[in-house]
Structure formats: structure tokens, C-alpha cells
Amino acid sequence: MLFTDSMWTEPEAKGLSRPTRSEDEQIQLVTDGCDTKFKDIRRDARDIIHEVSKTHNAVQTLDKTISSLEMELAAARALQDSIITGSPISDDLMLPEPVKKRKYLMVVGINTAFSSRKRRDSVRATWMPQGDKLRKLEEEKGIIMRFVIGHGATSGGILDRAIEAEDRKHGDFLRLEHIEGYLELSAKTKTYFTTAVALWDADFYVKVDDDVHVNIGTLGATLAKHRLNPRVYIGCMKSGPVLAQKGVRYHEPEHWKFGEEGNKYFRHATGQLYAISKDLATYISINQNVLHKYVNEDVSLGSWFIGLDVEHIDDRRLCCGTPPDCEWKAQAGNICVASYDWSCSGICRSVDRIKEVHRRCGEGEDALWTASF
């Protein structure tokens, strides 16, 4: 910065011609459109609407591009700072190279646990393609699907070896650098989005529980409608009570932060299934070390977007009930994205019942392979 008490006058530009009065008049005539050959032009109203629509789409696309560049710049700065200062973020940013250098529609992470082998098998037998079809889904539809799980408390123990054997058979796992535990779901969620956004360049990143039935084609079509929005958070939005009483399910240890007893949480998507756009997943990745974790994972995710310019989409097709609810809606032509029982926070006895839900509420295999996103 330069400070001075000197004063000087701005020098006049030399060698620059100034327009004459006649030239000014000609310019004004052209600007005002006074040429008679333009006076009789009339544009069709439909052409005008079409041009306005094209301009609106172009502005939305430009906004998304600018937002993506800003997030990439922030990520690069975070990586540079971590290298220079030795910040802990460096360990999390040192992730494997992207699996494919292409654009995907969505990454679907199915949250699972070591004890949920039967649940995983029931999902594989219903709504999750297997083998060559899983690879075909990636190549033709741009949809990545993986069961998401971390590691046991004992590295290389029997739990880890069982998952490794299962992965060799099916090839449908995403392993996280995370120690599994029910009270660690918020940390697992952060690690999932951080890992997924580093591995795959997708428009959306989805988290779903392994006891929920999902129609993948309908999910893809639903998310594709919001592609032009760079910061979107989609799910069944709720605002449940903050439970201060110890010993009850979903007890909130930090209840005092939400005001007086009996208050409710801010709006957030229910944890059975939700989706976020790439910019929000990147935001979580960059800021994971300073994002606060509440005991309830869905509350944590919602809290991370408070204060951000994020569009919350409340889509009730992401939380249909099991038959007859989802069946009636399917018969009416409104196929559900996800179905489960609210009373069980998933399909009650999902291992035994998910095939019946799939039969009565599934979109049909052809719906996925003929869908265009």
C-alpha cells in the first residue's frame, strides 16, 4: 500500500481521436434503432419465450460452473495450506486417484455394518444390480452403487477379513478410513462424502440405509431434475423434538444448544435416504475437521448447511411407507423413490420382507435400463 500527500492532475490521453458531432449523431441513430429497415420487424411471442428460456438456462449453467470452480479453488487452497503448515487435513486429502475420469450422475452409498450380511444379501437380491449389470450401470447410466463400511477396532481382525472375503465375491464395497460404531455415524457420514467426492466426479452423492427399498431409476430421474442447481439438499425434511431426557432413543446430549426444553430441531432430511449435490459434498470434504458432529447423523448433516446458500428440497417420494402405501402410489402412476416403515426407521424385519416390498412397489428392471437421465 502507498500513502502520499502529493496531489497531481490526471494527464490527458494523447494520440486518441475524439468522435465528432456528426459521428455522435450517427452512433445515436444506430443505438436508437432509427434505421427504417428495422422498424417493421416483429418477433413471434413463442420465439421470445424460447430465447428467454435459453437465457435462463444459460445463466443457471454459468452459476453452477462458477460455483464448481470456486469449490475447486477452495479445495486446492486447502491442500496447499495443509502441505505448507502440516495441517491434519492433509491425511484426509491424500486419497486414491479417481476411479474413472468421467462424469457420473450419482454415487449411491448404502450404509451398512459388520453384522448386516443378511441385509446386504437381501438388497443384492432385489434393487441392487449385481456382477456385470453393476458395471453396466456405471458405464451406461453413470450410477455408482457401493455398500459403505469402515474397519473394526482391531485392524485386520476377523470382522475386516469377513468383509474382504465378501468384497472379493461381489466387488460392491467402499471401504472407509473409519472405525465402525453406532455413535460414530456422523463421523462416518463425513468420511463417506469426503471419500466419494475424491473417487468419483458426480452430480449427486446419496446416502441410504441397508434396510430401505429404493427404485434406482426413479431416484436418478428425480435427482436429474435438479442438475442445474449447484447447492441442493434433497430428502424428506422433518423437524423432530430435541430429546433432553437421558436413556430415550435419539437422546440429544447437546440439547441445551437448541434453546428451552421442548424445542424442535431445524429442518433436516431424515437419515434413511438423502442426496446432496457435488458442491455440498466438496464443502464437507474441505471443512470436515471443523464441522461439528451431533449424536444423530441426520441432525449433523442438516447443521452443516445452516448459514449456507442451499436449496432444501422436501420430496415425500423419498419416504413412502411399505405396502399398501407405496403400492397404491405406484398404481396411481406416482412410483416411490424409497419405501420403509417409520416405526422401525427402515423396513421392519427387512431381510424377510424386502422381497415382498420389491415385488409390489418396485419400478421394474426395464424402467432402470430404459431410463434417460
pLDDT tens, residue order, the chain (373 aa): 777 776 655 555 555 555 555 555 554 544 555 454 444 555 566 667 667 667 767 776 676 667 667 666 666 665 555 544 444 444 444 444 544 468 999 999 999 999 999 999 999 999 999 999 999 999 999 999 999 999 998 888 999 999 999 999 999 999 999 999 878 899 999 999 999 999 999 999 999 999 999 999 999 999 999 999 999 999 999 998 999 888 888 889 899 999 888 889 999 999 999 999 999 999 999 999 999 999 899 999 999 999 999 999 999 999 999 999 999 999 999 999 999 999 999 999 999 999 999 999 999 989 999 999 8
Helix ranges (H only) for 125-228 are 132-141, 158-170, 185-199, 216-224
189, 159 contact by CB (below 8 A): no
Helix ranges (H only) for 225-266 are none
Q: Please state, in angstroms and rounded to a whole number, the distance separating the CA atoms of residues 66 and 254.
A: 37
> How long, in residues, is the chain?
373
317, 211 contact by CB (below 8 A): no
Q: Which residue has the cell 441426520?
A: 298
- Work out the number of other CB atoms within 10 angstroms of the CB of residue 282: 23
Q: Please state, in angstroms and rounded to a whole number, the distance separating the CA atoms of residues 121 and 295.
A: 29
Amino acid symbol at 351: V
Q: Please state, in angstroms and rounded to a whole number, the distance separating the CA atoms of residues 149 and 5.
A: 66
Q: Please state, in angstroms and rounded to a whole number, the distance separating the CA atoms of residues 128 and 156.
A: 28
Is 103-239+267-370 a domain of CATH 3.30.160?
no
The half-sphere exposure of 248 on its side-chain side, counting CA atoms within 13 A, is 10
Of 227, 308, 276, the C-alpha closest to 65 is 227
Instruction: Classify residue 27 as exposed, middle or buried by CB count within 10 Å of its CB (0-12, 13-18, 19+).
Output: exposed
Q: Please state, in angstroms and rounded to a whole number, the distance separating the CA atoms of residues 240 and 255.
A: 12
Q: Please state, in angstroms and rounded to a whole number, the distance separating the CA atoms of residues 66 and 276.
A: 18
